Structure 1
Amino acid sequence: MSRHSLVRESSALQTRLEALNTARELAEGVLPGAALQTVLEVLERATSRRSLSAGHTVVGFFGATGSGKSSLFNAVSASSLATAAARRPTTSAPLAGIWGVDGSGPLLDWLGVQERHSLPSVPGLADDSTGLILLDLPDFDSTKVENRQLVQRLAGMVDVLVWVLDPQKYADAAVHNDFLRPMASHGSVTLVVLNQLDKLNPDDAALVIESLRGILARDGLPGVPVMGASALTGDGVVTVRGAIKDVVVRREAATRRLSADVSAAAAGLRQVSGTGEARGISDGATKTLAKELAIAANVPVVVDAVARSFKRESARRTGWPVTRWLLRFRPDPLRRLNLGRTDTKAELNRTSLPPAGAPERARTDAAVRNFADDVSEGAPGPWRAAIRSAAREGREQLPDALDQAIATTDLKASTRPLWWGIFNALQWLAFLLALGGLGWLGVLAVLGYFQMPVPEVPRTEGWPWPTLMVAGGVVLGLVLAVAGRVLGGWAARIRARGVARRLNSAVAEVAGQRIVEPVKAGIGKLKSFNAALKAALKS
């Protein structure tokens, strides 16, 4: 592979790693911790491997007891290292044969391989410039737990996996179910060798190899190179060497291995998460939510109180002065709700609206639940649950927030229409007119009572002016009072509609802050997660 191609693959891998990490971060608190921990381990492993020698390719030999793995390792490496392994202090220690020792130390330290041997050139396999590291590992079906754990750990770390099988146990469920099938995404860095062909005649060997290919295809590894070999006779060893060399000289095994790890981790996240996007938030859904919350928060009660309070104040300001004072004994509907006050800061005020009872709480819960269900439709199960949870958390904060929103909404309670002043002035003029007429008639009556001369009063159409003044003042006051009530009722409806708009807007704002925004964030997180996961899966 050319240097430019290697750079491109490395850059593409970096992009996928970043996307996978983004998906992991977005899924925190949504997907199970075990799945996210697996992804984190892949990311940490990839970071560590990429920081180590890019000039070395680590090829691990994996096999079950009796497969002849160590013998094949010796045959391929043209050495007797694995034979000496029987005299090592512990069989759980892997052994490394190295071609090109310089720079391999940190990589082998990371792998945890302590026994290292520099090997001479092997024609058709490697020399000091190749940068090949062959690992002979313990049997993966060892009865020792530490051996099995070691094999599983290194199976997740080496660049290339060589699975050594034998004719007797090539179809064994343990190797396929526990190792090959879980590594199905790593087909590009997997080689399979059927060892001990010397125990089969050519026809049987062909049948066994064909059967093995079929099993591997069912494991999700179609097209994986399957080679026959005999460590005892040397048959097929050259072919195995050539396959390993081809992988090593392309200098892409480490990148492909990590790329396969990313694909497997992303696929695991996808399986845990599920697929799909949420329907999303619509204007209709938010309006329905705000409408239901407004009713549950007693907005209609406040609007009605505003209308009745305005009518009361209008009658008190424009009614007949003789009777308007009686309205002082009627409580102000707004003051009874602790609203419309000007003697305290609105943000410090609280309403005296009736506390939410079971019907109101049920209505609020249903509104929030229906909203979350509607907008999260189509989202995968864990994400839909997270979106619903965000809505529920906001629901707990609603009662106090809605009460505060109502308390701080300007109800225009202190705003006095201009016509009130005009009507009030006319009422007092009418009252003074009637009072003047009464005073005039009173003076005439006193003069007559004391047999004093009573001056002639002016008349209009035969009606004395004092009488006309009293009648005119009373009639004008009553007409103004009736007109004021009619006009006040009309103005009260207009004011109530304006207050209703402001209150509904305040409720909608609270719903947006407490419910809609957290839900929107959850939906956006899912969308970003899907995009990141798609980028991570793109190979």
Structure 2
Amino acid sequence: MNQMTTTTSAVPPQPAAGNADEPAGPGLAARIDGLQRLVDLGTGRIDPDLLADTTALLTRAGERLRLSGDHTVVTLAGGTGSGKSSLFNAVCGLDLSPTGMRRPMTSKAHACVWGLDGAGPLLDWLQVDKRHRYARASALEPEGGRNGAESGSLQGLVLIDLPDHDSIAEMHRAEVDRFVGVADLLVWVVDPQKYADAALHRNYIVPFARHAGVTLIVLNQVDRLQEEEIDECVSDLRRLLEAEGLADPRIVTTSTVAEGGVAGFREVLADTVAARRARAQRLAVDIDRLVARFADQRAVTEPPSMIDERRAAELADALTDAAGVPAVAEAMESAYELRAVDYVGWPVAKLAARLRSDPLRKMRLTELRDELRGAFTGPVGAQQGDVDNALQGIADDVVTGLPPAWARSVRAAGRSHAAELPEALGDSLKDTLPAFNQVPRWWWLVKTWQYFLVLIAALALIWIALLVAYGVLGISEQPPDLVGNPGLIPYVTVLLACVLGMGALTSSACRNVIALSSARHGERMELHMRERIAEVAEQKVLYPVADELRAYARFQAEADRLLGSSGS
């Protein structure tokens, strides 16, 4: 028996070659990929403890699959006095692990390997101390080991003797927990006196009940029992294990002092090593156990893919009110009318209004312009409180039936851009405001006509003045007939009155047309603003919710597939 001299390599272990005797490999790889997708989709959304456990399993699975597939890691675990170290020595053929009844005896994991090729990186990964690594090279061994068993049949076995699970030393229990989590085959060694040990069953048998396929129970020290007592003890142990959820438990009886007392155990080990399925089976069971925890993270019913049109319309209406669109549309309607006055208003009436010196009248248009252009240029186009109220309950309909974690995630997605919405609403409204230097072409025609009438009225006034000066006052002895005939004054006055009346009527008629068109203008602008706000609602609220619902749909499909493949 030689101590292993394999040293830790500085080169990362390479993936093990594919093995035709491991049929679960392709399915296992697909399930590992599925678990990774669940982690990617569930990160930040579901139970972080579940995600952490899944990530740890994925890491362990990846590492184990990269290591030797020709070796099967078998751990011998048990309580003080169960005889697991004696069993380890009996299988190995030499006294490699210390034995005794005091607590504890085995303080470090001991490993015996049959077949060195590829075992070094595996033992490094298992963190087995190099001082406690032993190798069995069948070519150098005698024909039979202790109890007459043939050692060559165990080629590929990595047998590990663990410290006592009930050790008073915390580090020993931690060592057992670590190896129990990575072993390909779990072997629990019990004795006739303490096979019902509460600590073993509570801490290991019950939590690993789903691992029945990769668990072996060894009832050791049966040499202390009568022949009929052995069957009774095995039956009682089986009943206890089945009651704790270990389906169809495999139980082997051994004795390290009787001739051929470990032959049955060695035969099970030989069959396990020869099948080369324990590694994949252990990982598959671990995946099954973990996938079952994802059952609570998905719903049975098919989730909606997006918020319905009614709720989307209600959101757009609420954001429209939050942004003050009706008030803005009304202000724009007033601004439209005031702007029109500059073009279609009767200049004579505007001159008379200016003579009355109404400063508010002069300031009104400028104020409206400044308010309309400046209301949405700051960081806040709507009050945050109003936006929050608009978002209240936006995802209530679509989260009905979703698991709590995903319901919270979808609701959070609906509010993920809440802080950006006021400014986004303001920007969208600012972009809808028309430029003030763009006016309808007919306004210019009316303005030209009005000033033409003003020109006629001014000429008529000058004509009347000349008629009075030359025709009535006689400031010239021979004036021209057009300015010297006082009889023309009534006719020119009538012309002046007609021009003034025509200008007033034109202004009044245009005001009526503008009053109607300004209402339509306000409606068009309000509709345009609502459309822009609906676009903002889609980008900032509806699309994030839809993305989250699609993520959940992919999560549920992947979880259902994994649960179906595991039979959960």
Q: TM-score, normalised by structure 2?
A: 0.80
**Residue 432 of structure 1 contacts residue 473 of structure 1 at CA under 8 Å; is this kept in 2?**
no
Q: Take 2:153 and 2:235, find their aligned partners in 1: how far apart are those partners?
A: 36
Alignment pair present for 1:132 and 2:176: no
Q: How does 1:36-47 map to 2 (within 5 A)?
A: 36-47=51-62
Segment of structure 1 superposing worse, 41-50 or 218-227: 218-227
Q: What is the one-letter code of the residue matched to 1:529?
A: F
Shift of 1:279: 3.7
Match of 2:365 in 1: 331
RMSD, aligned α-carbons? 3.5
Q: Is the 8 A contact 1:124 1:245 kept in 2?
A: no
Closer, same or farther in 2 for the Cα pair 1:160/1:437, shift >3 Å? same
Q: How many residues align?
A: 521
Deviations 1:219-252 (A, max 9, x none): 3321232334444446874333333222221111
Residue 64 of structure 2 corresponds to 49
> Letter of the aligned partner of 2:442 in structure 1?
W
| CA 1:369–1:6: 2 relative to 1, 3 Å | farther
Q: Which runs of 5+ in 1 are unaligned?
A: none
Instruction: Determine the structure 1 residue equivalent to 2:193.
Output: 168
Q: Tell me if 1:192 matches 2:209.
A: no
Letter in structure 2 aligned against 1:418: R
Range with bigger deviation, 125-134 or 489-498: 125-134
Structure 2 segments unaligned to the other structure (5+ residues)? 1-17, 354-360
- 1:110-137 C-alpha deviation (Å, 9 max, x unpaired): 2122323334466777516731122222
2:261 and 2:505 mapped to 1: Cα distance?
Answer: 118
Amino acid at match of 1:284: R
**What is aligned with 1:245?**
270
What SS does structure 2 have at the residue aligned with 1:163? Answer: strand
CA deviations 1:230-277 (Å, max 9, x no partner) are 444468743333332222211111111122223333334555x46467
What SS does the corresponding residue of 1:96 show, helix, strand or coil? Answer: strand
Mapping for residues 176-215 of structure 1, pairs under 5 Å = 176-201=201-226, 205-215=230-240
1:92 corresponds in structure 2 to 107
Residue aligning to 2:321: 295
Tell me how far apart the structure 2 counterparts of residues 125 and 475 of structure 1 sit (CA, whole Å): 128
- For residues 4 and 468 of structure 1, the distance between their equivalents in structure 2, rounded to whole angstroms, comes to 115
Cα distance between partner residues in 2 of 1:4 and 1:50: 11
What does the per-residue CA deviation read over 1:75-115, in whole Å, with 9 as the maximum and x for residues that have no partner?
A: 4455544456899x972212223222332222122212232
Given residue 291 of structure 2, which amino acid in structure 1 is its aligned partner? A
* Cα distance change on mapping 1:376 and 1:457 into 2, 3 Å: farther
Residue number in structure 1 paired with 2:522: 496
Deviates more, 1:255-264 or 1:430-439: 430-439
> Conserved in 1, the CA contact under 8 Å of 2:471 and 2:485?
no
Could you tell me how far apart the structure 2 residues matched to 1:209 and 1:128 are?
Answer: 27
The offset of 1:488, in angstroms, is 0.9
Aligned partner of 1:104: which letter?
A
- Label 1:154 to 1:493 Cα distance change in 2 as closer, same or farther (>3 A): same
* CA distance in 1 between partners of 2:125 and 2:105 (Å): 20
- Give the C-alpha shift of residue 466 in structure 1: 2.5
Residue of 266, 290, 295 corresponding to 1:265: 290
1:157 paired residue number: 182
How far apart are residue 329 of structure 1 and its match?
A: 4.5
Residue 180 (structure 2) pairs with residue 142 (structure 1): no
Q: CA deviation at 1:198?
A: 4.2
CA distance in 2, matches of 1:515, 1:154: 49
Cα distance in 2, alignment partners of residues 6 and 95 from structure 1: 28
Does structure 1 retain, via aligned residues, the 8 Å contact 2:113–2:135?
yes
Task: Give the TM-score taking structure 1 as reference length.
Answer: 0.84
The reply on whether 1:368 has 2:391 as its aligned counterpart is yes
Deviation larger for 185-194 or 261-270: 261-270
| Contact 2:298–2:559 (8 Å) recurs in 1 | no
Structure 1 residues 249 and 7 mapped into 2: Cα distance closer, same or farther (>3 Å)? closer
1:62 aligns with: 77
Gap change, CA 1:148 and 1:129, over 3 Å in 2: closer
Secondary structure of the corresponding residue to residue 393 of structure 2: helix
Instruction: After TM superposition, give the deviation of residue 207 of structure 1 in Å.
Output: 4.5
Aligned-residue offset at 1:448: 4.2
**SS of structure 2 residue aligned to 1:414:** coil
- SS in structure 2 opposite 1:395? coil
Aligned-pair distance for 1:482?
Answer: 2.0
Amino acid at match of 1:244: L
Work out the CA distance in 1 between the residues paired with 2:348 and 2:289.
Answer: 89
| Equivalent AA in structure 2 for residue 495 of structure 1 | H
The question of whether the paired residues in 1 share the 8 Å contact of 2:306 and 2:546 is answered with yes
- Equivalence map 1:423-438=2 (5 Å): 423-438=446-461
Distance in structure 2 (CA, Å) of the matches to 1:218 and 1:78: 36
Q: Residue 153 of structure 1: CA displacement?
A: 0.5
Confirm or deny: 8 A CA contact 1:266 1:536 kept in the other structure: yes
1:485 corresponds in structure 2 to: 511
Report how far residue 53 of structure 1 moved.
1.3
For residues 168 and 341 of structure 2, the distance between their equivalents in structure 1, rounded to whole angstroms, comes to 97
Separation of aligned partners in 1, 2:85 and 2:319: 73
| Equivalent in 2, 5, 19 of residue 34 of structure 2 | 19
Tell me: higher relative CO, structure 1 or 2? Use CA pairs within 8 A at least 6 residues apart.
Answer: 1
Which secondary structure does the structure 2 equivalent of 1:227 belong to?
A: strand
